[in-house]
Chains A and B, each alone.
Chain A
Amino acid sequence: METKRRYEYATPAAGTMPAAVAPERALRVFTQPERNPGTPLDLDLIRALRINRSAVERRAATIPTRRTVKKEWQAAWLLRAITCMDLTTLQGDDTPTNVLRLCAKAKSPVRPDLLAALGATDIGITVGAVCVYHAFVPVAVEALQGSRIPVAAVSTGFPAGLNPLPQRIEEIKASVAAGAQEIDVVITRAHALAGAWEALYDEVRAFREACGGAHMKVILGTGDLATLVNVARASQVAMMAGADFIKTSTGKESVNATLPVGVVMTRQIRDYHERTGYAVGFKPAGGIRKAKQALDWLILMKEELGERWLRANLFRLGASALLTDIERQLEHFVTGRYSAAHRQPMV
């Protein structure tokens, strides 16, 4: 056990960042993560990062083949996936009607009869958060009153993130003022592509300050970042600048969350945790539609980061259509018959 403990709570690696955390403190962190305050920008570390794309892709390819969960285990894991879900709608034609429907589903994501059959009624399954544009924050906040489900707002000129900086800062503040407890910010991809890491660091720092008490998820837009080493560097800069979560995609890029990108980002989270003692969360988003994909992401988290990262406080799945597929799989487990989407209450 001794060695396992050493890994989970990680002694800081020698010669990099100052050890920020004592083992006792890390133990406390395990139950209630302390917010990542960020660190100074360490450009030496950023520039020394090496990512071998082919090797990462091989690893990613075996994540779904080395592990699988079946029967009760699969049902339980799928319920866990629901609790980690940021149930999302980010469409130009969003109106209160569909946002309210989304919030209702967030509070009761699985049919009660299925939960009863699974013996999971008492767990109190809800999604991790509801994620909307700023305009619908008040609607969602009101609809979710009393549910303890936080509202997340995409912000900072989502999805391109190219609005003037003062406007982006104001947008964060406005969403926080409207009741959003989580802010999903997008980075200026140009900074990452140009290697302007100081600029990126300053930008994310400013976002973090504007968030105040709201949790900040930093969307890297990995589909725009061209290389995995850029993904790794942007991940590290975002964490150094105080990200609570790092998130893959807006869902609007041509390439969404992929497992290789997930492998790279989770490894950076692990590294950051080993160096600083702070646990940063991870959110893949975009293109996650099937229950099997949700399981793959959970397996990735468990394998690369550990059990601790299988909770909503450190893991979110950004998704819209995923929930219905998970419900169908749960019904199949309960009845032994394949289910249909129309049998599940609409999202």
Chain B
Amino acid sequence: MTTVSEIFETMAYGPAPESDKPALAWLDQHGRDFGLFVGGRWIKSKSGGGFDVINPATTARLARVTQAGEADVDAAVAAARKAFPAWSALSGHARARHLYALARAVQKHSRLLAVLESLDNGKSIRETRDLDIPLVARHLTHHAGWAQLAHSEFAGYGPVGVVGQIVPWNFPLLMVAWKIAPALAAGNTVVLKPAEFTPLTALCLAEIAHEAGLPAGVLNVVTGDGRTGELIVNHSDIDKIAFTGSTEVGRLIRKATAGSGKRLSLELGGKSPFIVFDDADLDSVVEGVVDAIWFNQGQVCCAGSRLLVHEGIAERLVAKLRARMEKLRVGPPLDKAIDMGAIVAPVQLERIRTLVNTGVEEGATIWQPSWACPTEGYFYPPTLFTNVSPAATIAQVEIFGPVLVSMTFRTPSEAVELANNTPYGLAASVWTENINLALDVAPKIKAGVVWVNCTNLFDAASGFGGYRESGFGREGGKEGMWEYVKPETRKAEVGTRNKRPRSVPRSAFRAPRSAAIPPIDRTYKLFIGGAQVRPDQGYSRKVLGPSGAMLALVAEGNRKDIRNAVEAAHAADGWAKASGHNRGQVLYYLAENLVQRADEFAERIAAMTGHDVADGRREVDASIARLFSNAAWADKYDGAVHQTPIRGVTLAMNEPVGVIGIACPEEEPLLGFVSLVAPAVALGNTVIAIPSEAHPLAAAELYTVLDASDVPAGVVNIVTGAKDPLAKVLAEHDDVDAVWYFGRQAAGAEVERASAGNMKRTWVEWHPRDWHDNVQGEGREFLREATQVKNIWIPYGE
């Protein structure tokens, strides 16, 4: 027994446990054995399997949960489908009331959820109490607002349908909230699978939601491991998959859903940089590092796990860090005075140990505090590696544990280069007291979130999500809502196309203008890097008119031509830095020059498609108008300043995606091309376009117009040839950031599957659009596809 007078001398911290009794009582009420929550009630599994849920801090068994099988997932999807018509037909206001009630219910049960989360995951009660659960309530409240405002803010859009959602174990309930709040707000119904290590709070929430009056079947929770997840991903009656987890599994899901028509949003791994310049407040940096990598035991996808320090201050910072690490406390998660709890499971602990060993073997210097972790349960101490090179395994691989690797840099540009030297792009943290430097560096980092002089700040009003292999789609803010809505015009996509009366094709290929002198031969090469270049292999393909007569030869592009075009597109990356005004000017000028040749283009289109010249002219005129629309947007697609609860600004910047490969639709060979290329270019992307395979001449004729219109070399590259194979090459290319494919379903599926290589964004459609319709052919839908949102958090105050 420690006495008061002894403690008076040592001034030690003592135990400060939060009681686990109410949470255990809740488990007991359920007999510590959980079914699935489907259609508003608990159901027994049809397959009967199950597994134990373990408290990682004690290794004690908490409960047994169900391994949902195929029949169970079918039942859950059926319940969601059944609930969908009524739920989606509710007014926004009614859904807002439901979400508000759910948010309030979470607050009413906040301590139960916080303790249950800590027991299940091993994270500290401080975090679940002060961060996870309040953020859950905040997310639900914020999205109650989107439900309320949906009719005006998402006019013309409706819910996607039944959504399958799969969440990870690191923020079990918070990730549930991030998933279900926007889905329900938009009128979707949900089949949710929590992670097998941490299913308890999701089950508790399902029960709470039911008590709060959420209609049966709107939210269904099925538990299980990856096999259950696979059943959800592959289910034919699910319209969208939202997944948070590893890039590895994200890649499998991308491949599995390819060609299914399912919408997809993925929030994946990261190896986020934490950049410290020499004018930063170093003591605050140290606390920033604590929040970055020793938050939630480092099991955070956006953890600042790569410390990049200016070489002049590295030694001082490392000394400060070591001193701080010495004071961190690792221990029972329910103790209110600890900094770090337990690692979620033995398999994760083993992964951390293995990677740390690799780091040591590869020659990095390891440092850990002098104190020891508890031996019962799965604990790992805070760990710092110095003398790490970018080539080291621990500098590249996501460890997902409390392990920080540090490297030094010389200049701001080298810091950016090191920061971007990763396949990931989830988050970054930048520390400097110089606003010029901070605001210069933040846009240069390839990451969906940049925190200036802070880290790991989250709020429902701000979008969260990655660049590159960290996934696509955003969660939070208006940008996150777009993931759960789709244009109402394409609610039932097949057969509703607004058919335009077409003229009867004119039978003949236009006669040569003079019978006596043959026309000068037109040679259509490829357009790469601002020049007309011969195709790599020197083959050409015939372009036939509707009667089968040959109109011309175009270059037969191959994979090397695509490679060259991608390099040219990258070389033109300065385009992204051109002002919106300048990009708009170029597009206006393009329109101006196209007008000069309108008749010629109209005739070309007519000759290729067999429509009459008046139709061709209509297409040219529409293309000119479309160029104007996108020129107009170039300096008007503004970002936002989000209302996050900090003294500061959270800037949501619309950044270009980068290099976009565009396989254009077969129909409307000019208008389809312009409708896709123009918005991409207007917003600063560079493009490799594959024109309509059957009717490539309209695009090929554009070479000279592009040339004459001051479009900088490499901004628009055009490769003619076999569309589907070329599109696949683009989709496989690891240095292409997005691929848009408009064509056949099978080829679209190939594009989606191949995109999994670098997890590039895809926009694939096989249902035809009416390109003449301004709702379907231009506007914010296109602009969203052409951009990714970067949220930059800038707290201020002197």
Q: Please say whether chains A and B are actual partners in one complex.
A: yes
**Which residues from chain A sit less than 8 Å from chain B, CB to CB?**
1-4, 7, 13-14, 50-59, 65-73, 75-77, 79-80, 118-120, 122-123, 227-229, 267, 298, 302-303, 307, 310
B390 on interface, CB distance cutoff 8 Å: no
Nearest CB of chain A from residue B645's CB, rounded to whole Å: 12
Besides the known contacts A4-B370, A50-B433, 16 further A-B residue pairs in the complex with CB atoms under 8 A apart: A3-B322, A13-B316, A53-B798, A54-B797, A55-B453, A56-B284, A68-B336, A69-B16, A70-B14, A73-B16, A75-B7, A76-B4, A76-B8, A76-B11, A119-B3, A307-B10
Residues of A within 8 A of B323 (CB): 7
Nearest CB of chain A from residue B425's CB, rounded to whole Å: 24
Residues of B within 8 A of A307 (CB): 10-11
- Whole-angstrom distance between the alpha carbons of A76 and B322 in the complex? 29
Choose among A13, A58, A68, A118 the residue that contacts B337 (Cβ–Cβ < 8 A).
A68
- Whole-angstrom distance between the alpha carbons of A2 and B322 in the complex? 12
Among residues of A, the one whose C-beta sits closest to the C-beta of B368 is A3
Q: Are B279 and A123 in contact (CB under 8 A)?
A: no
Residues of B within 8 A of A53 (CB): 797-798
Choose among A1, A76, A267 the residue that contacts B283 (Cβ–Cβ < 8 A).
A267
Q: Are A2 and B370 in contact (CB under 8 A)?
A: yes
Among residues of B, the one whose C-beta sits closest to the C-beta of A117 is B4
Choose among B14, B327, B795, B796 the residue that contacts A72 (Cβ–Cβ < 8 A).
B14
Residues of A within 8 A of B15 (CB): 70
Q: Are A69 and B13 in contact (CB under 8 A)?
A: yes
Q: Are A55 and B322 in contact (CB under 8 A)?
A: no
30 A-B Cβ contacts within 8 A? Answer: A1-B370, A2-B370, A3-B326, A4-B369, A14-B315, A50-B281, A52-B284, A52-B433, A52-B453, A54-B454, A54-B646, A54-B797, A55-B281, A55-B288, A55-B453, A58-B287, A66-B126, A69-B14, A70-B15, A72-B4, A73-B13, A73-B16, A75-B7, A76-B6, A119-B3, A119-B4, A119-B5, A123-B8, A227-B798, A307-B10
Q: Are B279 and A120 in contact (CB under 8 A)?
A: no
Nearest CB of chain A from residue B60's CB, rounded to whole Å: 23
Nearest CB of chain A from residue B539's CB, rounded to whole Å: 62
Q: Are B797 and A80 in contact (CB under 8 A)?
A: no
Q: Are A118 and B4 in contact (CB under 8 A)?
A: yes
Nearest CB of chain B from residue A216's CB, rounded to whole Å: 26
B213 on interface, CB distance cutoff 8 Å: no
Label chain A's interface by main secondary structure: helix
Among residues of B, the one whose C-beta sits closest to the C-beta of A298 is B11
| Given A7-B323, A55-B288, A73-B7: A68 in contact with B16 (beta carbons within 8 A) | yes
Nearest CB of chain A from residue B113's CB, rounded to whole Å: 18
Choose among B339, B454, B798 the residue that contacts A229 (Cβ–Cβ < 8 A).
B798
Among residues of B, the one whose C-beta sits closest to the C-beta of A74 is B14
Choose among A66, A123, A310 the residue that contacts B339 (Cβ–Cβ < 8 A).
A66
B12 on interface, CB distance cutoff 8 Å: yes
Q: Are A80 and B8 in contact (CB under 8 A)?
A: yes
Q: Are A72 and B2 in contact (CB under 8 A)?
A: yes
Most buried by A among B11, B647, B648, B795: B11
Q: Are A73 and B14 in contact (CB under 8 A)?
A: yes
Residues of A within 8 A of B322 (CB): 3, 7
Residues of B within 8 A of A77 (CB): 7, 11
- Whole-angstrom distance between the alpha carbons of A65 and B367 in the complex? 27
B130 on interface, CB distance cutoff 8 Å: yes
Residues of B within 8 A of A298 (CB): 11
Nearest CB of chain B from residue A299's CB, rounded to whole Å: 9
Nearest CB of chain B from residue A265's CB, rounded to whole Å: 12
- Whole-angstrom distance between the alpha carbons of A80 and B8 in the complex? 6
Q: Are A71 and B14 in contact (CB under 8 A)?
A: yes
Residues of A within 8 A of B11 (CB): 76-77, 80, 298, 302, 307, 310
Choose among B5, B287, B648, B798 the residue that contacts A76 (Cβ–Cβ < 8 A).
B5
Among residues of B, the one whose C-beta sits closest to the C-beta of A229 is B798
Choose among A54, A59, A120 the residue that contacts B647 (Cβ–Cβ < 8 A).
A54
- Whole-angstrom distance between the alpha carbons of A75 and B796 in the complex? 39
